Amino acid sequence: GDDGDDGVDFFAEQDCRAYCERAVECDDDRNEDDCVDSCIDRMGSCQADEQDAALEQLRDCADESCDDFLACTIDVGATCYFGL
């Protein structure tokens, strides 16, 4: 049956959720569910090898202080969009 898989695995969803929990802690204006949906969409548009690297960075970012969090997450986007 169709499980709604759009190229993002269970682990990607878990990493996005951990990242978004931190994002909401660092920015009261963020909505966690919207963040998770957006994160999963972005991961789905990555190449497989880029997705692995981006998810690893997301995990690392989730451990950063709020001061370092934003700069960390910008790098994640670059990994996915530009293959950097």
The DSSP call for residue 7 is S
Q: Categorize the per-residue pLDDT at 82 as very low, low, confident or very high, splitting at 50, 70 and 90.
A: low
Q: Write the pLDDT tens digit of every residue in 16-40.
A: 999 999 999 998 898 999 999 988 8
Mean model confidence pLDDT for the chain: 81
Tell me how far CA of residue 64 lies from CA of 41, 69, 71, 84, in angstroms.
23, 5, 10, 21
